[in-house]
Amino acid sequence: MARIFFTLALVACSLLTMDLFFGYWVGDYNKVAGQIKRAARDLDKLRQSPSVDEDVLRAAQQELNAAASGHQPLVYRMTMHRWIGIVAVLITVLVNSVSVTYFIGTSRWCKEVSDTYALEPRFAEDSARLKSKTFPFSFSSLMICLAVVVTGGAADPDNSVVESTMPWVTPHHLVALLGSLWIGWSFLVQVGRIGANYEIIEQIVERVDEIRTRAETASEVSQRLESE
């Protein structure tokens, strides 16, 4: 299980890193989008004016075209940034959900098997302890994903007025960068805890096999004595 989780975590981290690259590759998208919106507003005002000079109107149109030409290359990068970010967040949520589900199921299994075969309580206790220590890492990663999405939406000038999105650009960059580092670290912690929990499961299986072997041996001896 640890290998499977590590592979999934590696995919999630690769997507997060790729999205960070696209995010910084976009450049100052807010600045260019602001220039387009301001140029478009100025052009609309001039067109509504009955006494506007044709040269002024032509100059405003050229300014809008220049801003649009600088904006077009950034649209592709921003689109890639959005879609890779969506996939990265979904995969990250999935991987952390796998960790949560795994510990919920295996800790319950350890307790039930320990009670059924009267094993030492340390097996179930150790598994439950690993679960309680791992959950904060899983849930914090989920909250970071939410924070990245929220700040990213707040910083996107295509969704709102540029003046209101500009203050969110730096927080989004910081949350995305530091959050990705924390998620990577939390994945490493979870891999180690999943491996430790698997060792507990192996110990339980080994003890159960010993108990069953002794029970089968005792049954065979009892049947042999009865037949004699």
On whether the CB atoms of residues 138 and 96 are closer than 8 A, the answer is yes
**pLDDT value of residue 46:** 60
**pLDDT value of residue 97:** 94
Overall size of the chain counted in residues: 228
Cα separation, 188 vs 12, whole angstroms:
12
Q: What is the pTM of this model?
A: 0.79
Q: Is the dihedral of CA 29, 32, 38, 40 positive or negative?
A: negative
State the Cα angle at 220 between 217 and 225, rounded to 5°.
125
Helix (H, G, I), strand (E, B) or coil at 211: helix
Specify the amino acid at residue 218. A
**Using N-to-C axis directions, what is the helix angle for 29-48 and 54-116, rounded to 10°?**
140
Pick from 106, 95, 118: nearest CA to 183: 95
**pLDDT value of residue 72:** 67
**pLDDT value of residue 130:** 93
Pick from 26, 19, 63: nearest CA to 41: 63
- From the number of C-beta atoms within 10 Å of its C-beta (0-12, 13-18, 19+), residue 61 rates as middle
Helix (H, G, I), strand (E, B) or coil at 52: coil
**pLDDT value of residue 118:** 85
**Using N-to-C axis directions, what is the helix angle for 54-116 and 169-227, rounded to 10°?**
20
Low-confidence ranges of the chain (pLDDT < 70): 27-73, 159-163, 218-228
**pLDDT value of residue 187:** 95
Q: What is the per-residue DSSP string for 184-205? A: HHHHHHHHHHHHHHHHHHHHHH
